[in-house]
A and B are shown apart, each in its own frame.
Chain A
């Protein structure tokens, strides 16, 4: 819990062309219609996305990078190159995260912690992912013609960033629950939603227990990228354990970014899935007053191609952040 009420004073999201065709297009601050976003490689493109999101967030807050104390970010690429190269551009004190797709909320929770403890005044946090960069790192070459099963998920091309501070803000972070690593032995990297569902379940019930709240205390519980299968499994786990979760108020970011006919299989994934929905869509609704209290749960699968090839199962994690509109 954060008694000093750290707030999100500004946030920004940027996306690629496919995201621009989705139902949430209007919630993005900037849509690029080129997957390279004007750069030479996909890795540079991912960096550019994060840099742009950070820039827009700073502009919205009317701040310069000199006004910020810390940059907390992460991404999906090896050694967190997107986050660290963005930090190079920003020339700010930097903490790199590696929480796979849970990075967005891991960053926000840490930013809230740093600000709430009074050790930092303003913290910038964000994350980016790029579909093609992730494909070539984790799967096959981007133009390779392998057929994907319907359980697979589509990595979002985009970035989201937010600035956390004790300055008065309409949206505050009331609490965060850092998840533990959960591994129930699932091995299929083309069905990550099912692997991550127990982690989301574990973090949500821990959060509710710690806070002595019920799911009904939240207008929405938003998971990061469970996809269709993962969401269903999570709902089933809740039901089995007698936790009453209204399916209408338990939504998944992975199912919000794209339309049904956009061929994304079981839904979206990637660090930008939760980041884009949270820093864009959810923030917009909190600011306009259509939503008041949200639990955002970013889920991550912590495997690498090496562990998968060596037959290891997929360890997963979920971090939850509770945000509220106060003004």
Chain B
């Protein structure tokens, strides 16, 4: 009996694609909506709290609200819970400010073993870095477009 041959690459790629377990997109979207929405509602409640009980203006209440959410996110990251919630919630926990806090806290925790300067310092923005870079680039482009239109 001749030795069986390996399949042709393209044919195998096509076969492998059909066997892939697809990401449950519909379910992921629903979960992301629910969790993301809950985080937003929590944020809104915090904002009312800061406005009504701590005498912040509507604009001023923004800062302590964000700080509280970031604090909670970092705390949950440190306790090792955040990544578990995120596996369930997907974009629901990544998109809000809590996701950004998680990228920084998790990177910092991870790099602690390599020391504070070359470890934590150098790696803290490892995951968050691209967000800042492209956030700034996008803001610049938007500002440019707006300026051009107002000048015209």
Contact string, A206-234, partner B, CB cutoff 8 A, digits 1/0? Answer: 10010000000000000000001100110
Are B110's CB and A233's CB within 8 A?
A: no
Known: A147-B87, A185-B9. A140 touches B20 (CB 8 A): no
Return the contact of B20 from the options A42, A136, A191, A241 (Cβ within 8 A).
Answer: A191
Chain B residues lying within 8 Å of A232, measured Cβ to Cβ, are 19
Chain B residues lying within 8 Å of A151, measured Cβ to Cβ, are 20-21
Are A141's CB and B4's CB within 8 A?
A: no
Main secondary structure of the interface of B (DSSP, over half): helix
B5 on the A face (CB < 8 A)? yes
Return the contact of B127 from the options A141, A206, A228 (Cβ within 8 A).
Answer: A141
Are A241's CB and B126's CB within 8 A?
A: no
Are A146's CB and B94's CB within 8 A?
A: yes
Query: Which residues in chain A, 269-289, are within 8 Å of chain B measured between CB atoms?
Result: none
Return the contact of B23 from the options A146, A150, A197, A206 (Cβ within 8 A).
Answer: A150
Query: Which residues in chain A, 291-314, are within 8 Å of chain B measured between CB atoms?
Result: none
Main secondary structure of the interface of A (DSSP, over half): loop
A-B contact pairs, 26 of them (CB 8 A): A43-B113, A140-B106, A141-B107, A142-B83, A142-B106, A142-B109, A142-B110, A143-B102, A144-B102, A144-B110, A145-B86, A145-B93, A148-B87, A150-B22, A182-B6, A184-B7, A184-B13, A185-B12, A191-B16, A194-B19, A201-B6, A206-B3, A228-B21, A233-B16, A240-B7, A242-B4
B-contacting residues of A (Cβ < 8 Å)?
A: 40-43, 136, 140-151, 182, 184-186, 191, 194, 197-198, 201-202, 205-206, 209, 228-229, 232-233, 236-237, 240-243, 263, 266
A-contacting residues of B (Cβ < 8 Å)?
A: 1, 3-7, 9-10, 12-13, 15-16, 19-24, 28, 77-78, 80, 82-83, 85-87, 89-91, 93-94, 99, 102-103, 105-107, 109-111, 113, 126-127
